[in-house]
Amino acid sequence: MSVIKRRGWATLLLGGVWAGCASSLHPLPQIEPRGVVVDAGAVAAALSEADEAWTERTLDSVRRSAEVGLGLVAEGGRRIEGSIVATRAMVWLAGHEPTAPSRRDAASAAVRVGQICRERVPLAAECAYWLGVALGVQARERRATALDALPRMVALLEEAAAGRPDLDEAGPHRVLSLVLLRAPGWPTGPGDPERALELATRATEIAPGWAPNWLALGEAHEAHRDRRAAEAAYRTALERAAEAGRRGTPEAGEWVDEARSRLLSLGPVPS
């Protein structure tokens, strides 16, 4: 059985960081396969290792998951599993690394690997989704890329929602809803609160047990100044988050805190 070599986190960021670039996408180097045939068993073992590390959701474990995924990316070919694993991990790291430079590096790397996924299998909904999410976290960490990223994100997430609405617990609908809620509206941006409410509602229908979908729905109702509906959505989010905590979902505590904070910010709802 062939072995998938590890090249180290820093050297697998595929070209380094392009700071200060207004474009949200990056020039990609040609990845030359190393000439080693990696059989299906080795790929499956690597993906299992990456998923196990991802499940722990600590800095060290998610870095390890990213490194395994990047090892698969570096093998070349048209397989996209490694790209998806690595992009997912680096998106998480972009929100959890302890320093701003490391968060920016992770965000830029997520976009690069998402682009590679898209280049290898252009019609894969998974590639569209994770590249769209990666562009969002990069826009947060590198504000200069936000204007260029917005229309790309909307197009990618729309594509993912049409092709694989079940991805990441209704992720395409949920993330697109948040983009349309928080972006400026016409003529300066794609913001659309009406469409955002439709998308968030659909996300709760696709994956009703996932607390972030209810948080997105609550935010959409707030945008429409419907405090009663927002409160109901946030209370459901709190219930779902507590259930996730009992199942051992690592982010459940964050969701509980966010739901409680949102409920407090609403204040008393008029009778």
Amino acid occupying residue 237? A
50: buried, middle or exposed (CB in 10 Å: 19+, 13-18, 0-12)?
A: buried
Q: Write the pLDDT tens digit of every residue in 18-60.
A: 333 457 776 665 554 444 446 788 889 999 999 999 999 999 9
Residues 267, 261: Cα–Cα separation, whole Å: 10
Return the residue matching tokens 């020039």: 27
Q: Write the pLDDT tens digit of every residue in 158-205.
A: 999 999 999 999 999 999 999 999 999 888 889 999 999 999 999 999
Going by C-alpha positions, the residue among 229, 239, 212 that lies closest to residue 266 is 229
Q: Write the pLDDT tens digit of every residue in 14-25.
A: 333 333 345 777
Residue 123 DSSP label: T
Going by C-alpha positions, the residue among 153, 162, 67, 170 that lies closest to residue 118 is 153
At residue 191, φ and ψ (nearest 5 deg) are -50, 135
pLDDT of residue 28: 61
